[in-house]
Structure 1
Amino acid sequence: MSATSDELRYVYAVCRPLDAPLAADLTGVGGVPPRQLHHEGLVALVGPVPARDFAEEPLRAHLENLDWLSETARAHQRVIGALASVTCPLPLRLATVFRDDSGVRAMLEEGAERFWRILDRIDGCVEWGVKVHLESADSSDKYSSDNRSSGNHSSDKQTSATAGATSEKPLSGRDYLRRRRQQRTAQEEGWQRAEAFAQRLHEELSRHADDSRLHAPQNSSLSHTPGRNILNAAYLVPRAHSEEFVELVDGTKDEDTAGLTVELTGPWAAYSFTGDDAESGGGAGRSR
């Protein structure tokens, strides 16, 4: 298929030849169905996109447009998700484009060794994401309070009543500083407990995964998740063991995690394990 001067090739992922067809109604960027481009045993999933949007200059401008970026990312993920349901793909970066099919084939040929190495590593696996959040600092005393975590509501009422009775009395400088020290101590203890819990959880989950990856904590204002992100990790898990892995994460609900939220996402294509730097791993994995 030859390309026209106003058309480029958008590449979603690289994979092995598919054992099952993709959904007939699957569409990608621009509402166009993706197609398979074969080259020496590898497959690139590609689709045509207009140069007016994806050539270097207009693409740079579009990437500053959050609405355009969000729409493109959803279309990209839609194709990757469909592909992950029938194989273990190596997803490429958002907006990876080439001039024509020849450029895509050249990419497959030049990167063949790396592609095969990564495809072998992620074969039969999916990615699960686990995040641990600590409630916001202004309520961290709730996390560290023995009374509240044990459900002692009468103590809470007494404290509230006492606070109400004394709220009109001005604090002395000494009392103010003492309260501030108590608040900081409670906050620090809450963070330490949360970090210790997150470390234990990560070590346990890593033992049940082929590989793990620690990502930088997310900014709550960007993720729209309240509280402080203590753990942001990804785990490469064989599909056959995914149910066991999910049950392991769900089991944290039976632990003393007052003030903490454990969030599980997935299964995804192995986004976090498709770079060469992932070969060093982020934790101990199971032997296969």
Structure 2
Amino acid sequence: MRAAPSAPSAPGPPELTYVYAVTPPAPSVRRLLPGLTGVGGRPVTLLHAPGGDPGPVALVVSDVPRREWDEDALRARFEDLHWLEDAARRHHAVIEALAAHTTVLPLRLATLYEGHAGALDVLRAQGQEFATRLARLSGHTEYGVKVYVRPTAPVDVTAPPDAGAPAEAPGAAGPGRAYLRARRSQRQAHEDHYRQARLAAERLAAVAGRFAVERVGHPLQSGPLTADSPGENVLNDACLVPDAEVDAFTSALEGAVRDLPGVLLEVTGPWAPYSFAAAPPPPPAG
């Protein structure tokens, strides 16, 4: 007796659409995407307006399981530092690969919409704004500019002057006077380094004004993550620089602090323009 066919299982909830970035729908992007792996090991594809004309911009996306990426799941997963590190690394890897081949407008980690339809709604509503921003970024690259105050040499405080010891004779070069002189010298060096840091900030702002089309200041780096830093971070800027001006820009930065030994300049990049991307639009209602 043949068993009756089982009833088809009910379809699961539709997947969410994870958006990495906005790019032009260029052939170079289409050729690149099949070799990329996105968050959660998902394939990366290009999503653009349907029809023969894709328009000036497209979204780089992955389809991700709702049960792993909806609001409740993310609330728990963002507490898992290993998961968060892996997701951020994969997100960044996709954007960096794109930036090596085309102009890219990066979006934030975990930018999610209700399937392709929800993402296309955003693309239709914000397409012109995205296109304007991509045109602004074309031919430009982000560079980080950081300034650190170099630490001063520590004073040997292992043997401070004994308060009960006999007073030193005037003019005597005893340990008490040597200790006080060392402390005074350290304080003066510390103040001089901060004076140099203020001067460095003024000079670097002038250099950015000459070469960068945009500049933003980020929060200063502090706390446990700066344990290996070369000093106190007193400037943490990002500059959007025309590609043709990069060599002149970096040379001018280095020249601006060459006579300031109390500070250390760190220039990082090239980066995808994270600091100059428009804020991602809110997801559509529902």
Partner residue, 1:219: 222
Partner residue, 2:139: 124
Partner residue, 2:7: none
Cα deviation code 1:15-69 (max 9, x no counterpart): 2122413164221111223110012432000002222221001101211222111
Q: CA deviation at 1:269?
A: 1.4
DSSP 3-state at the match of 1:212: strand
Partner residue, 2:16: 8
Partner residue, 2:48: 38
Amino-acid identity (%): 40
Structure whose CA Rg is larger:
2
Paired letter, 2:16: L
DSSP 3-state at the match of 2:48: strand
Partner residue, 2:236: 232
Aligned-partner Cα distance in 2 for 1:185–1:250: 25
Aligned-partner Cα distance in 2 for 1:28–1:244: 36
DSSP 3-state at the match of 1:47: strand
Aligned-partner Cα distance in 2 for 1:201–1:270: 20
Cα deviation code 1:156-175 (max 9, x no counterpart): xxxx9xx79x9474268997
Say whether 1:192 aligns with 2:195. yes
Q: CA deviation at 1:235?
A: 0.8
Structure 1: runs of 5+ lacking an equivalent: 143-159, 277-288
Using the size of structure 2 for normalisation, the TM-score is 0.76
Contact 2:192 2:262 in 1 (8 A): no
Among 89, 109, 117, the residue aligned to 1:102: 117
Paired letter, 1:101: H
Distance change >3 Å, CA 198–CA 4, structure 1 → 2: farther
Partner residue, 2:64: 49
Cα deviation code 1:128-170 (max 9, x no counterpart): 111111134xxx258xxxxxxxxxxxxxxxxx9xx79x94742
DSSP 3-state at the match of 1:131: strand
Structure 2: runs of 5+ lacking an equivalent: 1-10, 50-54, 168-175, 280-286
Q: CA deviation at 1:233?
A: 0.7
Partner residue, 2:78: 63
DSSP 3-state at the match of 2:36: coil
Aligned-partner Cα distance in 1 for 2:261–2:37: 43
Using the size of structure 1 for normalisation, the TM-score is 0.76
Partner residue, 1:170: 162
Contact 1:127 1:235 in 2 (8 A): yes
Q: CA deviation at 1:187?
A: 2.1
DSSP 3-state at the match of 1:48: strand
Cα RMSD between the aligned structures?
A: 3.0
Q: CA deviation at 1:199?
A: 2.3
Count residues with an aligned counterpart: 250
Contact 2:34 2:44 in 1 (8 A): no
Q: CA deviation at 1:272?
A: 1.2
Distance change >3 Å, CA 168–CA 240, structure 1 → 2: closer
Q: Which has the higher helix share?
A: 1
Contact 1:6 1:52 in 2 (8 A): no
Further displaced range: 11-20 or 166-175: 166-175
Q: CA deviation at 1:256?
A: 2.6
